Structure 1
Amino acid sequence: MFQIGGLVVFCGLLAQATAQLAGLPVPLDQTLPLAVTPALPSNPTDLAGSLTGALSNGLLSGGLLSTLENLPLLDILKTGGGTSGGLLGGLLGKLTSSIPILNNILYIKVTNPQLLELGLVQSPDGHRLYVTIPLGMILKVNTPLVGSLLELDVKLNITADLTFVKDRQGRLHLVLGDCTHSPGSLRISLLNGVASLPVQDLVDTLTGILNKVLPELVQGKVCPLVNGVLKHLDVTLVHDIVDKLIHGLEFVLKI
Structure 2
Amino acid sequence: MFQVGGLLVFCGLLARTTALLDGLPLRLDPALPLAAIPALPSVPSDLVGSLTSALSNGLLSGDLLGTLKGLPLLDTLKAAGGSSSGLLGGLLGTVTSVIPVLNSLAEVKVTDAQLLELGLEQSPDGHGLYVTIPLDLIVDVKTPLVGSVLKLDVKLNITAELLVVKDEQGRSHLVLGDCTHSPGSLKISLLDGLLPLPMKTLIDNLTGILNQVLPELVQGRVCPLVNETLSHLDVTLVHDVINMLTLGLQFVIKV
Normalising by structure 1, we get a TM-score of 0.75
> For residues 169 and 235 of structure 1, what CA distance do their matches in structure 2 show?
18
Contact 1:64 1:225 in 2 (8 A): yes
> For residues 79 and 226 of structure 1, what CA distance do their matches in structure 2 show?
28
Matching of residues 84-103 of structure 1 within 5 Å:
91=86, 98=96, 99-103=99-103
Contact 1:132 1:160 in 2 (8 A): yes
> For residues 181 and 157 of structure 1, what CA distance do their matches in structure 2 show?
6
CA spacing shift, 1:52–1:71, aligned 2, 3 Å: same
Partner of 1:119: 119
- Higher RCO structure (Cα 8 Å, ≥6 apart): 2
Partner of 1:203: 203
- The share of aligned pairs that are identical, in percent, is 68
Matching of residues 134-153 of structure 1 within 5 Å:
134-153=134-153
> For residues 193 and 253 of structure 1, what CA distance do their matches in structure 2 show?
39
Partner of 1:174: 174
> For residues 134 and 178 of structure 2, what CA distance do their matches in structure 1 show?
16
CA deviations over 1:45-91 (Å, ceiling 9, x no partner)? 11111110000000000010110000000111125779xxxxx9x94
125-134 vs 194-203, which moves further = 194-203
Partner of 1:218: 218
Note the C-alpha offset of 1:112. 1.1
Question: Which residue identity lines up with residue 188 of structure 1 in the other structure?
Answer: I
Question: Which residue identity lines up with residue 60 of structure 1 in the other structure?
Answer: L
| Secondary structure, counterpart of 2:191 in structure 1 | strand
> For residues 135 and 68 of structure 2, what CA distance do their matches in structure 1 show?
9
73-82 vs 105-114, which moves further = 73-82
Counterpart check, 1:69 vs 2:77: no
Normalising by structure 2, we get a TM-score of 0.75
Question: Which residue identity lines up with residue 101 of structure 2 in the other structure?
Answer: I
Query: What is the root-mean-square deviation of aligned Cα atoms in Å?
Result: 2.4
- Segments of 5+ residues of structure 1 without an aligned counterpart are 1-41, 83-87
| Secondary structure, counterpart of 1:78 in structure 2 | helix
Matching of residues 1-255 of structure 1 within 5 Å:
44-79=44-79, 91=86, 98=96, 99-192=99-192, 194-253=194-253, 255=255
| Secondary structure, counterpart of 1:44 in structure 2 | coil
Contact 2:52 2:118 in 1 (8 A): yes
Note the C-alpha offset of 1:167. 1.7
182-191 vs 245-254, which moves further = 245-254
Question: Which residue identity lines up with residue 238 of structure 2 in the other structure?
Answer: V
Question: Which residue identity lines up with residue 142 of structure 1 in the other structure?
Answer: K
Note the C-alpha offset of 1:168. 2.5
Contact 1:150 1:192 in 2 (8 A): yes
CA spacing shift, 1:43–1:66, aligned 2, 3 Å: same
CA spacing shift, 1:204–1:94, aligned 2, 3 Å: closer
Note the C-alpha offset of 1:251. 1.1
Contact 1:151 1:193 in 2 (8 A): no
CA spacing shift, 1:63–1:120, aligned 2, 3 Å: same
> For residues 212 and 252 of structure 2, what CA distance do their matches in structure 1 show?
33
> For residues 140 and 183 of structure 1, what CA distance do their matches in structure 2 show?
24
**Aligned residue pair count:** 209
> For residues 70 and 217 of structure 1, what CA distance do their matches in structure 2 show?
11
Partner of 1:7: none
CA spacing shift, 1:80–1:194, aligned 2, 3 Å: closer
Contact 1:121 1:252 in 2 (8 A): no
Question: Which residue identity lines up with residue 117 of structure 2 in the other structure?
Answer: E
Note the C-alpha offset of 1:125. 1.5
Contact 1:134 1:156 in 2 (8 A): yes
